[in-house]
A and B are shown apart, each in its own frame.
Chain A
Amino acid sequence: MLDTAFLVRRQNPGFLLTSLSYAGGLLVGLTVSAMLLVHAGVPASALVDEFLIATFLTSDGLSQTATAALPLVLVGLASAVAMRVRFWNIGVEGQLWLGAIASTWVALNGIGPEALRLPTMFVLAALAGAAWIAISLFLKLRWGVNEVISTLLLGSVAFLLVQHLLFGVWRDPANSFPVTATFPEASWFSILGWGQLHTGIFLVAGIALSIWFVMEHSRAGFYADAVGFNAKAALATGLPVLRTAVGLVLLSGALSGVAGMMIVAGTEHRLNQSVGNGYLFSAIVIAYLARAKPLWVIVVSFALGAVFTAGNVLKVFYSISEAMIVLMQGTVLMSILMAQFFSTYSLKRPN
């Protein structure tokens, strides 16, 4: 009987077991997804050809994946650094919108000299994102307001702010459309000549490596782990708990803000109502699958970027509905999470 079984945490699961269960979960998820697709009318022979090859083995597919992964790395890191100190940032999209608003303001008004346009956008986007999460942080510290609620709701407020601007001062003057005018080229990341991939990749790489270093090798990262695992013990042993938590939460907001800048300056070159959609879900998925480890965040972001690319292929050529794509993503995610769960716990029966 199942109800007499219980879960036992494995003592120190080895690297091999962890990797195998991860791969196993991925395989199960992909197999189930493939079955769903065949059932939905995609010829089995086409799956490998168009899905795998088009996504991973063509230059177009790879450049699309890389381009899509850039903001994903940033929001994934944003979610991960907050998760390390057990702060649930469910407002990644809100901070992203704020970052997008700040960089749009710089771009449209031509703030600062042209040569410094992108750095200015970067700094202001980071500050705007951090300021937005600071509201939730303040509410939590001052009155104990749960950050899950406050960050989520402030995400909606941020979107209303975007709407207010797009239907107000920033609407296209010629036709009142709720999109901003295209930015002057000084506020674009230059195209690298491989698909839509742009120089933002260097910024993202720099940020990701810095975060990796800070989280894994610096004192702050050490504090973060101690605070995240056991804040009471961290406080009792004299660590600067509050400073660590505040610092990382603000960093989380700043990273989301920069993701907003990455989108408007990298690929869209303007602000509209849809550029920030869906990043919250992605951020949480990435941070969970990567177990909040920065280097894994990069890997998982590219994997998720590939899933989006593959999803696009399926949508375009097999009229697979959006719901099916989401179903597949969910299936893969659930399989991996379950595999992770069983690499951490084993099922035992009494006696």
Chain B
Amino acid sequence: MKERNTKPSASARLFAATAAVLASCAASGAYAFTLEGAPKVAFIYASSAQDGGWNEALEAGRKAVEEQLKVPVAVTENIPEEATKLRAAIDLYVKRGFNIIIGTTYGYSAPMAEAAKAYPNVAFLSASGTENGPNMESFYARTYQGWYLAGIAAGQATKTKKIGILAGFPVGVVNWDINSFALGARSVDPAIETVAVFANSWWDPVKEGQIAQAILDQKADVLATNLSATSALDAAEKAGVPSVGFQLDMSHAAPKTIQTSVVFRWEKYLVPTIKEIIDGSWKPEEFGAFEGLETGVVELAPFGPTVSEETKAKIEAAKQDIIAGKLDPFQGLLKKQDGTVVVDAGGKVDDAALWSMDYFVDGVIGTMPAK
């Protein structure tokens, strides 16, 4: 009925543990789990699965699970982020013998954790969740790695040395995308500035279109969106300005101007993880699964027609460096907008600090709302 209902899913892009720590946490700290009964998988969405963004990316993962693992997979849409409603759905599934439940929004996290305690022999995977346990694992992806590469593409494309990005709300996982995008562009030319604007909504195509136009009016000549709607890309296509999409390959919205899209490939996480659960070798990570370019959970969509070979080569090189651990977008020397140093040369931002990132880095033009 109201805007807030239309896309709670995208709001979901959060994860992270109370004291979110290293995803690389040693296996010794992980739990062990045994599945009882034949595997039956259920996906629960907070809104429509075909939402053009977050849910649709997960839905692609679901289809891969169904095809590759040949297990029964059920889908339920539109279960609101309320404990009573979600718990009812989980109870029903468990009663019918479903034993692998995938929740798709951070809002499900706490009630899922309660259900996990009640059903110790059922496996729970929580996309962008915050809770973990012996039979529950939250998962999210290092999207900032993808955004760093997109930033390189933008840095290569800009002539005015000003690029723009449209985002939802000022939360950690969004802030790191913006910062990483700005840092990627600066790796091309340290003079590049990034205009960042929050729409304060996860889904408002009209407002997003207006904000996109406002960013273009500030002489930005590359436009990226961190949201599920394609309004910003429509505006960029109309203005003939290079653009960057998110979550899915958005080239259909801006076939001429698109550079690339930062996309999720959840099947790269879901297929192996569910296979492990079925095989009995699954050990849920104590602080959740947090994968990136190295497993391909985050990727860049195919480049657009205007991207030069030189750019492609630069991006490929940076990608290999990140995978090899030689490059981290948030490595020192890293400064905030106001010049204070976050990390000295040689250091990097750890995962806990990533999750609570509440600042813009040097080079971003925009205001972070006060706490």
Interface residues of A (CB under 8 A from B): 54, 60, 64, 67-68, 156, 159, 163, 167-169, 171-179, 182, 196, 263, 267-270, 272-275, 277-278, 281, 308-309, 312-313, 315-317, 319, 321-322
With a cutoff of 8 Å between Cβ atoms, the chain A residues found around residue B200 in the complex are 163
With a cutoff of 8 Å between Cβ atoms, the chain A residues found around residue B78 in the complex are 315, 321-322
Contact B170 A274 (CB under 8 A): no
Contact B82 A174 (CB under 8 A): no
Instruction: Supply 18 further A-B pairs (C-beta < 8 A) apart from A167-B169, A175-B18, A273-B8.
Output: A60-B92, A68-B84, A159-B4, A163-B200, A171-B171, A174-B20, A175-B172, A176-B356, A176-B357, A176-B358, A179-B107, A267-B82, A274-B4, A281-B1, A312-B79, A312-B88, A316-B89, A319-B76
Q: How far is the CB of A92 from chain B (nearest CB, A)?
A: 13
Contact A175 B8 (CB under 8 A): no
In the assembled complex, the Cα of A312 lies from the Cα of B107 at a distance in Å of: 18
With a cutoff of 8 Å between Cβ atoms, the chain A residues found around residue B18 in the complex are 174-175
Q: Which of B9-17, B235-243, B264-272, B276-284 lies on the face that meets chain A?
A: B9-17
Contact B82 A175 (CB under 8 A): no
Contact B95 A176 (CB under 8 A): no
Contact A275 B82 (CB under 8 A): yes
Contact B171 A178 (CB under 8 A): yes
Contact B106 A315 (CB under 8 A): no
Contact B76 A174 (CB under 8 A): no
Contact A267 B4 (CB under 8 A): no
Contact A274 B89 (CB under 8 A): no
Q: How far is the CB of B129 from chain A (nearest CB, A)?
A: 10
Given known A-B contacts A177-B171, A196-B87, A274-B107, A313 and B82 have beta carbons under 8 A apart = no
With a cutoff of 8 Å between Cβ atoms, the chain A residues found around residue B17 in the complex are 174-175
The total of chain B residues at the interface (CB under 8 A) is: 51
- The closest CB in chain A to the CB of B42 belongs to A316
In the assembled complex, the Cα of A60 lies from the Cα of B106 at a distance in Å of: 26
With a cutoff of 8 Å between Cβ atoms, the chain B residues found around residue A171 in the complex are 171, 371
Interface residues of B (CB under 8 A from A): 1-2, 4-5, 8, 11, 14-20, 48, 74-85, 87-89, 91-93, 95-96, 106-107, 110, 130, 169-172, 175, 200, 355-358, 369-371
In the assembled complex, the Cα of A321 lies from the Cα of B130 at a distance in Å of: 28
Contact B171 A315 (CB under 8 A): no
- B170 touches which of A68, A176, A315 (Cβ 8 Å): A176
In the assembled complex, the Cα of A319 lies from the Cα of B369 at a distance in Å of: 40
Q: How far is the CB of B30 from chain A (nearest CB, A)?
A: 21
In the assembled complex, the Cα of A190 lies from the Cα of B5 at a distance in Å of: 30
Q: How far is the CB of B32 from chain A (nearest CB, A)?
A: 26
In the assembled complex, the Cα of A259 lies from the Cα of B336 at a distance in Å of: 44
Q: How far is the CB of A93 from chain B (nearest CB, A)?
A: 9
In the assembled complex, the Cα of A182 lies from the Cα of B4 at a distance in Å of: 22
With a cutoff of 8 Å between Cβ atoms, the chain A residues found around residue B80 in the complex are 274, 277-278
With a cutoff of 8 Å between Cβ atoms, the chain B residues found around residue A175 in the complex are 14-18, 20, 130, 171-172, 355-356
Contact B369 A315 (CB under 8 A): no
Pairs A–B under 8 Å by Cβ, sample size 24: A60-B91, A64-B88, A68-B84, A167-B169, A175-B17, A175-B130, A175-B172, A175-B355, A176-B172, A176-B358, A177-B130, A179-B106, A196-B83, A269-B83, A269-B110, A273-B8, A274-B82, A277-B80, A309-B88, A312-B92, A315-B89, A316-B74, A319-B77, A322-B48
Q: How far is the CB of A110 from chain B (nearest CB, A)?
A: 19
In the assembled complex, the Cα of A315 lies from the Cα of B43 at a distance in Å of: 12
Contact B92 A316 (CB under 8 A): yes
The residue among A54, A168, A174 with the most chain B CB atoms within 10 A of its own CB is A174
In the assembled complex, the Cα of A168 lies from the Cα of B171 at a distance in Å of: 10
In the assembled complex, the Cα of A163 lies from the Cα of B172 at a distance in Å of: 16
Contact B5 A174 (CB under 8 A): no
Given known A-B contacts A167-B170, A169-B371, A270 and B89 have beta carbons under 8 A apart = no
Which 9 A-B residue pairings sit nearest by Cβ, starting from the closest?
Answer: A322-B78, A175-B16, A176-B171, A274-B81, A175-B355, A176-B172, A267-B83, A174-B18, A267-B84
Q: How far is the CB of A55 from chain B (nearest CB, A)?
A: 11
Contact B110 A270 (CB under 8 A): yes
With a cutoff of 8 Å between Cβ atoms, the chain B residues found around residue A68 in the complex are 84
With a cutoff of 8 Å between Cβ atoms, the chain B residues found around residue A167 in the complex are 169-171, 369
Contact B77 A321 (CB under 8 A): yes
In the assembled complex, the Cα of A306 lies from the Cα of B96 at a distance in Å of: 20
Q: How far is the CB of A235 from chain B (nearest CB, A)?
A: 38
With a cutoff of 8 Å between Cβ atoms, the chain B residues found around residue A321 in the complex are 48, 77-78
- The closest CB in chain A to the CB of B352 belongs to A174
- A177 touches which of B76, B93, B106 (Cβ 8 Å): B106
In the assembled complex, the Cα of A175 lies from the Cα of B138 at a distance in Å of: 14
Contact B169 A178 (CB under 8 A): yes
Given known A-B contacts A168-B371, A178-B171, A317 and B19 have beta carbons under 8 A apart = no
In the assembled complex, the Cα of A167 lies from the Cα of B130 at a distance in Å of: 17
Q: How far is the CB of B96 from chain A (nearest CB, A)?
A: 7
The residue among B2, B4, B11, B92 with the most chain A CB atoms within 10 A of its own CB is B92
Q: How far is the CB of B104 from chain A (nearest CB, A)?
A: 14
In the assembled complex, the Cα of A68 lies from the Cα of B8 at a distance in Å of: 21
Q: How far is the CB of A226 from chain B (nearest CB, A)?
A: 35
Contact B11 A178 (CB under 8 A): yes
Contact A315 B84 (CB under 8 A): no
With a cutoff of 8 Å between Cβ atoms, the chain A residues found around residue B170 in the complex are 167, 176
In the assembled complex, the Cα of A76 lies from the Cα of B1 at a distance in Å of: 19
- A268 touches which of B83, B95, B96 (Cβ 8 Å): B83
With a cutoff of 8 Å between Cβ atoms, the chain B residues found around residue A281 in the complex are 1
